[in-house]
Structure 1
Amino acid sequence: MLINRRNLLATSALLYGLPSWAADPYPSKPVRFMTPNSAGSGADGMTRRLADHLGRALSVPFFVENIPGAGGVLGSEKLVRSEPDGYTLSLISSNYVVFPHLYKKLSFNALKDITAVAGVAKTPMVLVTRSGFAANTAAELRQLALRDPEKITLGSSGNGTILHLAGMLMQEQGKFKLTHVPYKGAGPVVPDLVSGIVDVAFFSYASVEGLVKQGRLKVLGVSSAKRVPELPDVPALAETFPGCVLDAWYAVVGPKGMPTAVVQKLNKAITATIESDAFKGQIRAEGAVPLPMGPDALAQFLRDEYAKHGALVSRSGAVIQ
């Protein structure tokens, strides 16, 4: 009787009590690629770009699934409860290390119940306002705010979100006050910003690039340590307010307990993708740059970011439950 390799692997898996998926070389079926963010967000765009590249690199489809809600909690809960076989992954953003400090009764541990797979990219946030607003730079915004304290409004995607924390950090470093107006998500902020219902807000550049190019919004500053090539005439906020640096970032994680060989294969494919000219060209327009990291380096990065953002949330006083 002839025994092919697949039958031999399947038999070995049964004999040694391995899960059924261990019998097949990875990946041998479509991958569910989740993101705990809404469609049209910066994270959604990054997820879809990466999914397209990985699908071609690994010869299986990567199906994107948006599971927004509760600041990223709902999608993250689904991830940690998934089989740790490499067929359910998630692209997370900076908000992943924010919501654990807002929701005090999470059903999972944000650091211990995941497997760190690979870094993807980092991108500055931009401080934007309507085209007719009196200030053209962050320094001019500060002068207006000092002249009439708390009259100028700062819109955000919600209390304690990364867009709120960016505004809070700017006010701390610049020593001025704005009035915070929290929304339920980033989407509703945009039309109110354009129409002047709120004065300023932070966004990923990808979220507002079209409105900026149309002249309906203007950029007052970027949250990176240095100016970005795509907006060379826009000052980094740190030029005006030293220490005001808060990049948004993206990374890929999976459920706790993923096999090392699967993690390494995914890390290799993701790193090759984000360092390719094609991918770098796609993300360059939004000021993003690759953020390659191995699993161990990413795990440490997440711990550091968790502590940093936790301190910001604590100072903001934001608590949801």
Structure 2
Amino acid sequence: MLTRRSLPALLLAAPALAQDSYPNRPIRVVVAWPAGGGVDTPTRLVSVPMSRFLGQPVVLDNRGGASGSIGEAEAARAAADGYTLLATGLGIVTNPMLLRNLPYDPQTAFTPVSQLTSAPLLLVVRADHPAQSLDQLLDLARKAPGQLTYFSSGIVGGPHMTCVMLMRRAGITATHVNYRGGSQSIAGVMGGDTDFGFSTLPQAVPLVREGKLRALGVSSPQRMSSLPDVPTIAEQGFPGFERAEATSLWAPSGTPPECIARLHQAVVAALADPDVLARLEVLGMTPVGSTPAEMAAAMAEYRSFAAAMIRAEGLRQE
């Protein structure tokens, strides 16, 4: 986790680059998810201080759909010159496991820049849903196996995998409804098209506070300071239950190391910006600012976890 004390050391560790070498024109960030969700929001927050640090505009280009694979394919086609980046979630790890005929291989098409944030997920139902608690939701599911529906914003992405984990441990079944992105999945549960699901914080927290959604639990080990009345999943009979979504920044493979170093330096500086930190705290998101090597190790760990879950659940390619 990024801390205020670690910032000077990280900044000094980055190679010194001439101010007029890179960048000397705007940088495009292909956001592989729709606007307003768990990937777009932190990326948008850091883009402004990154622009100031780099001395060039950092422009977001939302290309959502197909569990992030549309935006990922767009970024994979870009020149490896440091002027096109990719912001996405954990779907980049699992997409090749479940989506057929991808025009790119995430393990070879991209190189890590930095993980921006880590964030738990909220288990939510619509405000007038009969389930007032996690126990009540599970009771409803046990009484009608497979009849309740749960949403996700992408197959085998963070929200989907977290829901699968909970259902497996609870011994229940429900029908999966996969949406194009977070905004669509939230609209579905609010409209009564689905019963429950895990949502990213930028989508869910404002609606919970407004009384339009009911939060039944959070996937973090401790309660969120921004929603202290929402219990963790772990404290409701599932000890050790913990999952988090990650928003990460990538570059096309072959991007010069000095560009990667400069971009990482900009991410670290942006995540130390007081306005960014304040907004992330309100949302319940944790700044990370990992090095490329640390990010690569974290993604490899998630890849092993996801592969095991896919085998256990018998999920097939689409």
Aligned to 1:177: 173
For 1:243 and 1:116, how far apart are their aligned partners in 2?
A: 29
Question: Residue 165 and residue 104 in structure 1: after superposition, are their counterparts in 2 closer, same or farther (change >3 A)?
Answer: same
Aligned to 1:67: 63
Aligned to 2:206: 210
Amino acid at match of 1:283: L
For 1:71 and 1:36, how far apart are their aligned partners in 2?
A: 8
SS of aligned partner of 1:188: helix
Aligned to 1:53: 49
Aligned to 1:297: 294
Alpha-carbon offset, residue 169 of structure 1: 0.8
1:272 paired residue among 269, 273, 291? 269
Alpha-carbon offset, residue 320 of structure 1: 4.1
For 2:288 and 2:136, how far apart are their aligned partners in 1?
A: 33
Which structure's CA Rg is the greater one? 1
Amino acid at match of 2:172: F
Q: Is the 8 A contact 1:227 1:236 kept in 2?
A: yes
Aligned to 1:318: 315
Q: Is the 8 A contact 2:182 2:203 kept in 1?
A: no
Aligned to 1:38: 34
**What are the ranges of 5 or more consecutive residues in structure 2 without an aligned counterpart?**
1-17
1:192 paired residue among 188, 195, 206? 188
1:121 paired residue among 98, 117, 124? 117
1:238 paired residue among 224, 234, 239? 234
SS of aligned partner of 1:257: coil
SS of aligned partner of 1:42: coil
Matching of residues 215-226 of structure 1 within 5 Å: 215-226=211-222
SS of aligned partner of 1:219: strand
For 2:255 and 2:39, how far apart are their aligned partners in 1?
A: 23
Deviates more, 1:264-273 or 1:145-154: 145-154
1:281 aligns with 2:268: no
Alpha-carbon offset, residue 96 of structure 1: 1.5
Q: Is the 8 A contact 1:130 1:217 kept in 2?
A: yes
Q: Aligned residue pairs: how many?
A: 300
Aligned to 2:6: none
Alpha-carbon offset, residue 220 of structure 1: 0.3
Aligned to 1:107: 103
Matching of residues 84-99 of structure 1 within 5 Å: 84-99=80-95
Q: Is the 8 A contact 2:93 2:299 kept in 1?
A: yes
Alpha-carbon offset, residue 37 of structure 1: 0.9
For 1:191 and 1:23, how far apart are their aligned partners in 2?
A: 45
Q: Is the 8 A contact 2:152 2:197 kept in 1?
A: yes
For 1:313 and 1:51, how far apart are their aligned partners in 2?
A: 34
For 1:82 and 1:23, how far apart are their aligned partners in 2?
A: 24
For 2:125 and 2:254, how far apart are their aligned partners in 1?
A: 45
SS of aligned partner of 2:182: coil
1:83 paired residue among 75, 79, 86? 79
What is the TM-score with the length of structure 1 in the denominator? 0.86
SS of aligned partner of 1:98: helix
For 1:158 and 1:48, how far apart are their aligned partners in 2?
A: 21
The percentage of aligned residue pairs carrying the same residue is 29
Report the RMSD for the aligned CA atoms in angstroms: 2.1
Question: Residue 137 and residue 304 in structure 1: after superposition, are their counterparts in 2 closer, same or farther (change >3 A)?
Answer: same
Amino acid at match of 2:68: G
Alpha-carbon offset, residue 204 of structure 1: 0.7
Question: Residue 227 and residue 23 in structure 1: after superposition, are their counterparts in 2 closer, same or farther (change >3 A)?
Answer: closer
For 1:69 and 1:41, how far apart are their aligned partners in 2?
A: 13
Q: Is the 8 A contact 2:264 2:291 kept in 1?
A: yes
**What are the ranges of 5 or more consecutive residues in structure 1 without an aligned counterpart?**
1-21
Amino acid at match of 2:142: L
Q: Is the 8 A contact 1:77 1:107 kept in 2?
A: yes
Aligned to 2:224: 228
For 1:228 and 1:48, how far apart are their aligned partners in 2?
A: 22
Q: Is the 8 A contact 2:183 2:203 kept in 1?
A: no
What is the TM-score with the length of structure 2 in the denominator? 0.87
For 2:293 and 2:154, how far apart are their aligned partners in 1?
A: 32
For 2:161 and 2:248, how far apart are their aligned partners in 1?
A: 20
Which one scores higher on RCO, CA 8 angstroms, separation ≥ 6?
Answer: 2
Aligned to 1:15: none
Question: Residue 177 and residue 105 in structure 1: after superposition, are their counterparts in 2 closer, same or farther (change >3 A)?
Answer: same
Alpha-carbon offset, residue 158 of structure 1: 4.6
Large movers: runs of 4+ above 6 Å = none
Question: Residue 206 and residue 159 in structure 1: after superposition, are their counterparts in 2 closer, same or farther (change >3 A)?
Answer: same
Q: Is the 8 A contact 1:91 1:252 kept in 2?
A: yes
